[in-house]
Amino acid sequence: MKRIFSILAIALTMFLGLSFSQPAFAEQTSGQKVFSSNCASCHAGGTNRVVAAKNLKKDALEKYGKYSVEAIVAQVTKGKGAMPAFGKKLTANEINLVANYVIEQADNGWAKS
């Protein structure tokens, strides 16, 4: 009887854990979709095909003062140098999603891209 309760408790814990983690997964997937459609041609895998040193890897983002959602949102919205502005092409929500995606991928070494 104790074994049945233990199994049920473990199953319930796993179910609840997956239920609460779905929104974060959905946001990451949306950010990845926006990134793939608008950014990957120059920044696939966190690279920068135009200015190699200014890539999206964590150390470069930190070096150039871009390691925050706010800094990435500003860069994507206004553009700078060779990077075009996306403020009129993407919604504020899409820009926020892609900024969060970039930070998450930088933290993970772009292993999932």
Is 48 domain-assigned?
Answer: yes
Is 13 domain-assigned?
Answer: no
The residues, ordered by sequence, that sit 6+ positions from 68 with a Cβ below 8 Å of its Cβ are: 103
83 labeled part of a ligand binding site: yes
105 labeled part of a ligand binding site: no
CATH number at residue 55: 1.10.760.10
Number of independent structural domains in the chain: 1
- The tokens describing 59, both together, are 């150390």
Question: If phi over 0 gives left and psi between -120 and 50 gives alpha, with beta otherwise, what is residue 48?
Answer: beta
14 labeled part of a ligand binding site: no
pLDDT for res 11: 57
Is 113 domain-assigned?
Answer: no
pLDDT for res 105: 97
42 labeled part of a ligand binding site: yes
Residues belonging to the chain = 113
pLDDT for res 35: 97
- The tokens describing 26, both together, are 């959905």
CA separation, residue 69 to residues 3, 8, 65, 72, 110 (Å):
47, 40, 11, 5, 16
State the first-to-last Cα distance of the chain, in angstroms, to the nearest integer: 46
pLDDT for res 3: 73
Per-residue pLDDT of the chain (113 residues; tens, 9 = 90+): 677 656 655 655 565 555 554 555 555 579 999 999 999 999 999 999 999 999 999 999 999 999 999 999 999 999 999 999 999 999 999 999 999 999 999 999 998 55
Is 88 domain-assigned?
Answer: yes
Is 46 domain-assigned?
Answer: yes
Is 14 domain-assigned?
Answer: no
pLDDT for res 68: 98
Q: Residue 30: which domain range? A: 25-107
pLDDT for res 110: 95
Is 45 domain-assigned?
Answer: yes
Is 67 domain-assigned?
Answer: yes
pLDDT for res 7: 64
